[in-house]
Amino acid sequence: MFDLSLVGEFRKALEGGPRLVRLPPERTAVFVGDTHGDREATEEVLRRYFDDQHVLVFLGDYVDRGPDSVGNLTVLMRAKIAHPERIFLLMGNHEAWAVAPFTPADFWRSLDPKEEKILAETLSLLPFAALHPAGVLAVHGALPDVDDVEEINEIALGSANWRKMTWGDWVDGPGYCLDPGFFGRPAYGRDYFFAVMERLRLKVLVRAHQPDAPLFLFGGRCLTLFTSHAYGPGPRRVALLESGREIRSGHDLIIRAI
């Protein structure tokens, strides 16, 4: 099903890269939520923004659920190989099959054992987070409990902080760790959010993972994007962080439906 030589080239583009990507302030950053097998969504994002004025940050969950996981991942891998500085693919929980299998997993279950192994190992190399100097951090799920953003580079795959970042949900209420949350997924409240944001001196968290979450949480400081029709015909949203713009909350980013 997969072109394994393409997967090999993609692996080379990821090898040696940091877990925390630092985004260039001179380009407009475009954040893209879960695409989940919606190849058309990814192609539309690339058609609009894949150029040297923008840097694309996909927030994870490229496979399972939607109709074309193979096609979606193939388009993303080709883009990364062609222009690695224009596109960053963060790790979602659906890319962590090598360390934390889950169910249902229609895409992963469809692979033969060799493909499954190669792809799972390759996707284990994806970065966990991206930082923009305007004070914006992007992850798939929730915040890691660290003292400095640089510590994200030391977070081990499969560790507690890794699980917060890839599996964590936010709950619009008081509290710190609300584990276990919805369906046993880790969940975190407002007090945890503001404690970590303050400690890391961040203005905005941009994330995906939770299609039923409101677009803005926590006074607009937490922005949740979903960019797939896998769960229904709702808007496929992306968020633009314009170069040079002062950011105080998620309302200072531009939300577009594609």
Q: Given the rule CB under 5 A, which residues bind Mn ion?
A: 61, 92-93, 209
| Burial category of 5 from C-beta neighbours within 10 Å (exposed 0-12, middle 13-18, buried 19 and up) | exposed
Task: Tell me whether residue 75 or residue 91 sits nearer to Mn ion (CB atom).
Answer: 91
Instruction: State the minimum distance, in angstroms, from the CB of residue 13 to Mn ion.
Output: 23
Compute the distance between CA of residue 150 and CA of residue 201 in angstroms, rounded to an integer.
Answer: 12
Task: Tell me whether residue 134 or residue 208 sits nearer to Mn ion (CB atom).
Answer: 208
Task: Tell me whether residue 119 or residue 134 sits nearer to Mn ion (CB atom).
Answer: 119
Which of 36, 94, 140, 229 is flagged as catalytic? 94
> In the bound complex, which residue of the shown chain has the CB atom lying closest to Mn ion?
209
Compute the distance between CA of residue 237 and CA of residue 40 in angstroms, rounded to an integer.
Answer: 13
Instruction: State the minimum distance, in angstroms, from the CB of residue 7 to Mn ion.
Output: 22
Compute the distance between CA of residue 141 and CA of residue 164 in angstroms, rounded to an integer.
Answer: 7
Task: Tell me whether residue 93 or residue 122 sits nearer to Mn ion (CB atom).
Answer: 93
Identify whether 140 is a catalytic site residue.
no
Task: Tell me whether residue 171 or residue 247 sits nearer to Mn ion (CB atom).
Answer: 171
Instruction: State the minimum distance, in angstroms, from the CB of residue 51 to Mn ion.
Output: 28
Cα–Cα distances in angstroms (integers) from residue 135 to residues 22, 157, 194, 197, 228, in the given order = 11, 25, 14, 10, 26
| Burial category of 26 from C-beta neighbours within 10 Å (exposed 0-12, middle 13-18, buried 19 and up) | exposed
Look at the block and give the residue holding tokens 């507690």: 160
Cα–Cα distances in angstroms (integers) from residue 205 to residues 122, 218, 226, 230, in the given order = 26, 10, 14, 24
Question: Which amino acid, residue 215?
Answer: L
Point out the residues that are catalytic. 94
